[in-house]
């Protein structure tokens, strides 16, 4: 790889590698891969425009990890925790076939604004997921529904090598490993903490409540949780 490769180029290379990822999952589970799907070309345009706008540098960043991309969200769009309407505004690319899901992104956009805006936030942080590809499972009615990597022990175990390899690859982008922020203070945090005890990927992992948990069940405490996010992210 050439010298002075930008953070953006490393992310796009990582995404391109994900397009060729083949995972052997237990029966009833499937991967949702935006980088290899029917809308691959549009996803490539959008992600290239987004990362070139905010990550065209060689700066070190801290990492924020959710669990796995939502079936109707990042696992379709390709940019973690973003939503279609905002990406369309940010990149100028028409995203007319993507489902718009604002449950998580709306809260995070407000956090970004209070932090100092998208440009300052993305200059300091890189966001992705413990499992960077979406997962769906077939329910009793034969419908595909969203699934997190930790919901099934056999699924989780099958994904551990991929998860470790993916996180290690992303650390190589230029990630400050002194801290990792974990979105999801329950199962996601417990899994990542156990994994970190074995791999020593990060010095410390800080749990943050999932935005969906906040907006759906504790909307009256929204400002309190937002301040918790800002205090954690600003504590260098």
Q: Which of 67, 97, 70, 94 has its CA nearest to residue 82? A: 70
Query: What local confidence, expressed as pLDDT, does residue 156 receive?
Result: 96
Q: Distance between CA atoms of 90 and 108, rounded to whole angstroms?
A: 15
The residue ranking higher by pLDDT, 82 or 198, is 198
* Mean local confidence (pLDDT), 212-218: 87
The answer to whether residue 5 scores a pLDDT higher than 90 is yes
Indicate the range of 17-21, 73-77, 115-119, 225-229 predicted with least confidence. 73-77
Residue 25, SS3? coil
Query: What local confidence, expressed as pLDDT, does residue 173 receive?
Result: 97
Q: Distance between CA atoms of 21 and 174, rounded to whole angstroms?
A: 23
List domains and CATH numbers for the chain.
7-231 (3.40.470.10)
Measured between alpha carbons, how far is residue 18 from residues 78, 132, 178, 185, 227 in Å? Answer: 11, 9, 26, 26, 34
Query: What local confidence, expressed as pLDDT, does residue 217 receive?
Result: 85
Q: Distance between CA atoms of 114 and 104, rounded to whole angstroms?
A: 16
Q: Distance between CA atoms of 151 and 96, rounded to whole angstroms?
A: 32
Query: What is the sign, positive or negative, of the torsion defined by CA atoms of 185, 188, 190, 195?
Result: negative
List, for residues 132-168, the tens digit of each pLDDT value. Answer: 999 999 888 878 888 999 999 999 999 999 999 999 9
List, for residues 55-70, the tens digit of each pLDDT value. Answer: 999 999 999 999 998 7
Q: Distance between CA atoms of 205 and 191, rounded to whole angstroms?
A: 11
* Mean local confidence (pLDDT), 114-132: 95
* Mean local confidence (pLDDT), 20-26: 92
Assess contact for 62 and 179: CB atoms under 8 A: yes
């Amino acid at each position: 790889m050439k010298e002075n490769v930008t953070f953006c180029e490393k992310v796009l290379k990582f995404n391109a590698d994900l397009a060729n990822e083949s995972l052997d999952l237990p029966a009833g589970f499937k991967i949702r891969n935006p980088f290899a799907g029917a809308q691959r070309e549009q996803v490539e345009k959008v992600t290239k425009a987004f990362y070139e706008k905010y990550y065209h540098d060689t700066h070190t960043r801290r990492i924020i990890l959710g669990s796995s991309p939502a079936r109707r969200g990042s696992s379709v769009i390709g940019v973690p925790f973003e939503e279609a309407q905002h990406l369309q505004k940010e990149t100028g690319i028409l995203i007319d076939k993507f489902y718009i899901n604002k449950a998580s992104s709306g809260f995070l956009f407000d956090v970004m604004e209070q932090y100092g805006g998208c440009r300052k936030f993305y200059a300091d942080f890189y966001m992705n997921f413990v499992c960077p590809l979406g997962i769906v499972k077939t329910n009793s009615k034969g419908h595909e529904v969203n699934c997190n990597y930790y919901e099934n022990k056999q699924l989780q175990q099958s994904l551990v090598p991929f998860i470790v390899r993916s996180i290690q690859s992303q650390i190589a982008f230029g990630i400050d490993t002194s801290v990792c922020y974990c979105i999801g203070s329950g199962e996601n945090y417990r899994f990542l903490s156990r994994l970190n005890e074995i791999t020593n990927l990060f010095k410390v992992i800080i749990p943050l409540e999932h935005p969906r948990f906040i907006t759906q069940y504790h909307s009256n405490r929204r400002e309190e949780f937002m301040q918790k996010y800002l205090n954690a992210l600003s504590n260098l």
